[in-house]
Amino acid sequence: MISYCTQCGASVALQIPSGDNLLRYVCSHCDHIHYDNPRLIVGCIAEWQGRLLLCRRAIEPRIGYWTLPAGFMENGETTAEAARRETLEEAGAMIETTAAFSMVSLAHINQIHLFYRGRMLNPDFHAGTESLEVALFAADEIPWSQLSFRSVKLCIEHYLADRTRGAFGFHEHELHPDFSSL
């Protein structure tokens, strides 16, 4: 929710601007339209000698669960740069991104999760401030029941299937709320 205009400080109100069809926060003084758009979460499925790099989360949501290194993209960086930065911040690993691999739309929480395929440049890694621990897992060692998010699970499943097939594609999904765990 936005209360004040970022341009002039006046109050804003929800209304449909001229030429638009959605409610937006519009400044009552300067008419600046404040768009509230989805957030882009970018990460990497990084591999070293056939093993996948996973981080155990030290932050909410899903503290203590395993995930791929990922986080919010910052202004002024490309998606590939964001994947490399997040992998370095969360897992202390230097990677080369090879290609965008998986995109998951989560409209119900205004997020898009984009994962790159990556190759670790060396076997060095360590837990960053947002990770409790970091480890490399062979396909048969992945802690499936302890994965943090459905988007992460989908990405890893597709990666392992594509790797087995010997050809990597691009995978796109839409995930909706899962009420089965309530």
DSSP string, 54-79: EEEESSSSSTT-EE-SEEEPPTT--H
Residue 14 tokens read as 């929800």
Q: Where in the chain is the domain with CATH 3.90.79.10?
A: 39-174
| CB within 8 Å of 25: residues ≥ 6 apart | 2, 12, 13, 14, 33, 34, 36
Q: Name the DSSP class of 121.
A: S
Q: Where in the chain is the domain with CATH 2.20.70.10?
A: 1-36
1-36 is classed CATH 2.20.70.10: yes
* Model confidence, pTM: 0.90
For 53, other C-beta atoms within 10 Å of its C-beta total 23
Q: Is 94 helix (H, G, I), strand (E, B) or coil?
A: coil
Contact 71, 43 (CB under 8 A): yes
39-174 is classed CATH 3.20.20.70: no
- What's the chain's length in residues? 182
CA distances from 108 to 8, 74, 104, 175, 178 (A): 31, 22, 12, 8, 11
Residues 76-117 have pLDDT tens digits of: 999 999 999 999 999 999 999 999 999 999 999 999 999 999
181 has a pLDDT exceeding 90: no
Q: What is the mean pLDDT of residues 60-72?
A: 98
182 has a pLDDT exceeding 50: no
62 has a pLDDT exceeding 70: yes
CA distance linking residue 100 with residue 61, whole number of Å: 25
